[in-house]
Structure 1
Amino acid sequence: MPPELYYLSNFHKGLDWLVERSADLLDDAERAFIERFSGLAQASQALLVRMIMRKGPHFRASKLTYPEIGCPREAAAPLLDSGWLDTRAGLSLAELFEQLRKDELARHLPAARPHGRLKKNELLDLLAAQHPAPRPFTEWCPALDDPLYSLTVGALCERLRLMFFGNLRQDWSEFVLADLGIFRYECVEIGPESRGFRHREDLDTYLAIQCCRDDWEAGQPLQEVLAALRGLDCQNPYLARRRDKVLFRIAQQLERDAELEHALELYGECRYPDARQRRVRVLERLNRPTEAHALALEAQRDPENQAELQLIERALARLDRQLGLGKRVRPVETPVARLDLTLPARGECVELAVARHLSTADAPVHYVENSLVCSLFGLLCWEAIFAPVPGAFFHPFHSGPTDLYSADFRSRRTEVFARCLQRLDDGAYRSHLRQVYAAKQGIQSPFVHWGALDETLLDLALRCIPAAHIKAWCLRLLDDLRANRAGMPDLIQFWPAEGRYRMIEVKGPGDRLQDNQRRWLAFCAEHGMPVEVCYVQWATA
């Protein structure tokens, strides 16, 4: 196939992958589409794929000019015969305005001619009431010799894309980006059993959840959206998480709108992270402290993560006072060293100002924030993160495993993680990290920040940070990958001649520590890691 038809070649690869691995998920219409598509002339195939990949569903023939395809009308004829394109689809006035320039509106829409000075959006508002019913493009513009093709297989092709990627976030451009080397992905052995959906019903449920989310965001009646969500069978854990996330987002909006009883009900229905903590907060706002206190104690006994525990302990302190239960004894935290600086204001961000101020030739300072610790973890545990666990990878364009934030992510890879972390105990980690850094340079990873991690920074980290500290960071990340991958100190300073380092969290005037930052600082202090909080004031003239 000619190189200029790269997009068509990639689409064929996707269809072949689906036929080979997901044939049992295809319905009759999808099978018929794949079979008939392969029998079309190349120009017709290419035109359809171009339209599938563009924003549609309506396309004027004059806007479908591609040298490798030739005449769009000739290429469209077999697609019209197949029913995959339609020239008689009804267009609303708003859709018509999207297809016509302002001068064309004046020529083909008589009602628009007296209002030539109005902007298109103003003209649309003015004429909307006069043209409430949709009409085919040929009836809107009978004198315009420029057919409008409406794609009728868009929903079918969306399902095929969902089957291939397991989500609607990625699209067929992934092939192009990979071919051009813009994105590079780890080569993971993908078995025939690895795919995003096991059953056709799972595919339909995914689309139904997405439809509920879209309807809610579009302002559809909430009771209708909730009824649809509640009626879905979500025994698949992945789908259950997606459904719970939509419920959680709706509950959040209800809470913001002060519809607290309804928000409380929805928070109670979903198992999304933070839902229990939000129930406590809503109960407090409803002035039901006894119920809030009981739920908070339950969460304290078995917190889902450190972030929840932190918020629950604050709630308990408030509720104890409110219920007259006395002052709660808080655990003593290891103090974190404080550094106060007054610096001249030069228009740069406060972190870079502190880095420049503290950095010397013998003790360089790097602005790393979350990138260094996450990158060290990603390099050290590369083989565990990209282990070919069944169902974790099911197409060639994964930047990380699909179960990355699942509760059993670590347990499904126990032996591999143990082997990775063992290198920190036997001293093999330095050479291993350097080898992985060189071999995997630029490959997509959920943890390695290639743009922030150069060889100089990696070498300084390996010379100055004790293996025990790196291991403690890795273990903390594994405890809760989603929550603990952020909140790390902004800066790190190295003394390579002495083999030591310190981390520095920077706070400018009026800024204060966030919860995840407090948790990281407390963790580092408890483990004897050198960490400071630097508070900056700008010098006045």
Structure 2
Amino acid sequence: MSQSTTNTADLAADYYLTNFQFLVDWVSQRYADLLSADELHFLACFQQLPRTSQCLLVRLSSRKGPLFRYDKLHYAEIESIEQAATELIAVGLLSDNALLSIDEAANLLTKAELLSLFMEHLQGAKQARKEELIAQLSAQLPESKTWEDWTNHQLGKTYRLDNQAIISTLLLLFFGNAYQDLTEFVLQDLGLYRYENYTIDHQHRIFKNRAELEQYQQLIQLRDELQLAAEVEHLANLANRIPAQLNHAGLQRRRARLCNQLAYELERANKHTLALQLYCQSHLPPARERRIRLLEKQGDIAGAWQLLGEVLNSPCDEHELQVAQRMAPRLAKKVGETIAKQTRAPVIEQQLILPQLVDENNNILRVEEVVRQFAHTDESPCFYVENLLLTGLFGLWLWPEMFRGIDGAFANPFQAAPLDLYQENFVNNRPGIQQLWQLLDDNQHHDHIREFWRDKNGVANHFVSWQFLEQELLDLALQTIPAAHLKAIFKRLLFDIKSNRSGLPDLIQFFPSSNNYRMIEVKGPGDRIQDNQQRWLDYFAANTIPAEVWYVNWQ
């Protein structure tokens, strides 16, 4: 990503309000027809508030709530917290004097304050943790009171913010997911990231109707409950609450992930029948792998063998294929079948004994850098690239299709990749990828990649590290790596982008005089080849792509 020397001191004191206003305007323009009466009321009230009250609302929304102590609120850009809060209370966006349980009140207090206010109710107080003190109070004081009554009017007032659900809905509509938040705006303001100018319009919006939005929120709620579920009965209850099959591809994918997560917990709890039912409802890995294992455990060897054949013939991703290949000999023996033993193409290996080196600060260099220096010459330069070079070339080659306006791909202006990047229909939704293959077949990919490297430099792309992909490295790669090799590598990346973007060799060495190159995986003392690295090495060997493994011991 393009970096900037700008820091937070360069932002206006109320930058967060400008960002939130951008979000509000964006959602209002694109999703007004999906908003509930309460959400529309919130937006209308927010727009009419004085700026300081808007600032306070956004500040509180970004903090852990819903309760806030007045004496803990200090913002330089808000001259009077009390006045700003009063205006929020007047329009119903904030409340005070709410009735609180002792748990709610106690969680706002420090341990010292608890001891001062409730010493007569507490035993072993000085040695106990705050949580233990709250438990004691909860057992003795079941009634509800206002904050002022609980604290004997010693600690001012509290405010309750009850519209976090509305703000969460606005964030979900804006980002199209539940993991991005307003910090994305800060990165943009600081000049850390610039984003592609892709198409976002009413036709391609993520949620087409209110039902889809609520289904997404239901799945998120079930996922959050699953993370806290400890009892088998709770797990079974969650299984009964999972919605039926959904028509929206993104929602169906999220539902499948939830089925997998819940099924795995049920499997661990020895509820194999219910776990198997849930795995059968998921099209995502590792559902088929887990079904095979459960069928085998239940004695249905024929069913396990049949399903294994389906996986081997049509794997969803690299890991599923690798696991299936490992299970095949055991199941084949149980059903009396024979399978051809897989043979790997040989991978060139070297054993090196090298001296350990240090940098100018006397820090010991990584083994990869020691090997890079050992291999590097002016005529045959060697670079540490790991997962950045080939995936960077891939991102530049794929750029026009990656950022094409596809239904459900882009929700907001802050995306370095489409939302469907890791979905199984990513390639099928982009028939233009066929034209990109033709560029490689015709050896015309050099100009295409260079054009996007030049024209988009600094624009956020999930695969491209601009600081790393300098022109010298780009030129050497395009000069020495044949189009056929890039095509083979790009095909494997597209087959399983999420898994295959890692595991690539540490180093690449170029031989410009002969238009040749080699990749080098470095293993120091005691290190071994990881599964994802082995899959790449096997693939390189099968496609005659030059890759070697160098094992290093120290002198």
Q: TM-score, normalised by structure 1?
A: 0.91
Could you tell me how far 1:190 is from its partner in structure 2? 1.7
Which protein, 1 or 2, shows the higher relative CO under an 8 Å CA cutoff with sep ≥ 6? 2
Distance of 1:302 and 1:222 partners within structure 2: 31
Contact 1:109 1:141 in 2 (8 A): no
Match of 2:516 in 1: 500
Per-residue CA distance 1:492-512 (angstroms, 9 max, x = gap): 122233322111223344444
Give the letter aligned to residue 55 of structure 2: A
Matched, 1:151 2:161: yes
Match of 1:335 in 2: 346
Distance of 1:9 and 1:453 partners within structure 2: 34
Mark the CA change 1:507 to 1:291 in structure 2 (over 3 Å): closer, same or farther. farther
Choose from 106, 109, 113 the match for 1:100.
Answer: 109
Match of 2:369 in 1: 352
Could you tell me how far 1:200 is from its partner in structure 2? 0.2
Partner SS, residue 505 of structure 1: strand
Choose from 440, 447, 450 the match for 1:434.
Answer: 450
Mark the CA change 1:134 to 1:446 in structure 2 (over 3 Å): closer, same or farther. farther
Could you tell me how far 1:337 is from its partner in structure 2? 1.3
Partner SS, residue 339 of structure 1: strand
Match of 2:75 in 1: 66
Give the letter aligned to residue 271 of structure 1: H
Match of 1:523 in 2: 539
Matched, 1:478 2:494: yes
Could you tell me how far 1:41 is from its partner in structure 2? 1.8
Match of 2:213 in 1: 203
Mark the CA change 1:257 to 1:341 in structure 2 (over 3 Å): closer, same or farther. farther
Match of 1:297 in 2: 309
Could you tell me how far 1:119 is from its partner in structure 2? 5.1
Match of 2:462 in 1: 446
Choose from 384, 390, 393 the match for 1:367.
Answer: 384
Partner SS, residue 142 of structure 1: coil
Could you tell me how far 1:378 is from its partner in structure 2? 0.4
Contact 1:205 1:233 in 2 (8 A): no
Could you tell me how far 1:400 is from its partner in structure 2? 0.9
Contact 2:349 2:549 in 1 (8 A): yes
Match of 2:360 in 1: none
Matched, 1:263 2:280: no
Contact 1:65 1:71 in 2 (8 A): no
Choose from 222, 234, 253 the match for 2:235.
Answer: 222
Contact 1:164 1:196 in 2 (8 A): no
Partner SS, residue 493 of structure 1: strand
Match of 2:427 in 1: 410
Give the letter aligned to residue 48 of structure 1: L
Contact 1:393 1:402 in 2 (8 A): yes
Distance of 2:518 and 2:60 partners within structure 1: 55
Match of 1:8 in 2: 17
Distance of 2:220 and 2:454 partners within structure 1: 40
Choose from 40, 52, 61 the match for 2:49.
Answer: 40
Moved more, 84-93 or 30-39: 84-93
Contact 1:264 1:279 in 2 (8 A): yes
Matched, 1:51 2:68: no
Distance of 1:359 and 1:93 partners within structure 2: 68
Partner SS, residue 525 of structure 1: helix
Contact 1:267 1:276 in 2 (8 A): yes
Contact 1:177 1:183 in 2 (8 A): yes
Matched, 1:248 2:254: no
Distance of 1:115 and 1:124 partners within structure 2: 10
Could you tell me how far 1:180 is from its partner in structure 2? 1.9
Contact 1:188 1:386 in 2 (8 A): yes
Structure 2 portions without partners, runs of 5+: 1-10, 358-363
Give the letter aligned to residue 162 of structure 1: L
Choose from 300, 304, 324 the match for 1:312.
Answer: 324
Match of 2:5 in 1: none
Give the letter aligned to residue 125 of structure 2: H
Match of 1:239 in 2: 251
Per-residue CA distance 1:334-375 (angstroms, 9 max, x = gap): 221122223456655443343343333433332222211110
Could you tell me how far 1:377 is from its partner in structure 2? 0.6
Distance of 2:430 and 2:228 partners within structure 1: 41
Choose from 329, 336, 343 the match for 1:324.
Answer: 336
Give the letter aligned to residue 222 of structure 2: C
Contact 2:106 2:134 in 1 (8 A): yes
Give the letter aligned to residue 440 of structure 2: L
Moved more, 135-144 or 269-278: 135-144
Could you tell me how far 1:28 is from its partner in structure 2? 0.9
Give the letter aligned to residue 339 of structure 1: Q
Distance of 1:424 and 1:325 partners within structure 2: 42
Root mean square deviation of aligned Cα: 2.6
Partner SS, residue 281 of structure 1: helix
Mark the CA change 1:437 to 1:210 in structure 2 (over 3 Å): closer, same or farther. same
Contact 2:235 2:266 in 1 (8 A): no
Distance of 1:93 and 1:357 partners within structure 2: 67
Matched, 1:461 2:477: yes
Could you tell me how far 1:169 is from its partner in structure 2? 0.8
Moved more, 20-29 or 166-175: 166-175
Partner SS, residue 193 of structure 1: helix
Distance of 2:258 and 2:212 partners within structure 1: 17
Choose from 167, 171, 190 the match for 1:161.
Answer: 171
Distance of 2:436 and 2:149 partners within structure 1: 68
Mark the CA change 1:59 to 1:400 in structure 2 (over 3 Å): closer, same or farther. same
Distance of 1:140 and 1:113 partners within structure 2: 19
Give the letter aligned to residue 419 of structure 2: T
Give the letter aligned to residue 334 of structure 1: A
Per-residue CA distance 1:361-396 (angstroms, 9 max, x = gap): 433332222211110010122111111223311311
Could you tell me how far 1:162 is from its partner in structure 2? 1.1
Match of 1:19 in 2: 28
Matched, 1:174 2:191: no
Distance of 2:193 and 2:63 partners within structure 1: 21
Moved more, 330-339 or 112-121: 112-121
Could you tell me how far 1:274 is from its partner in structure 2? 2.4
Mark the CA change 1:251 to 1:350 in structure 2 (over 3 Å): closer, same or farther. farther
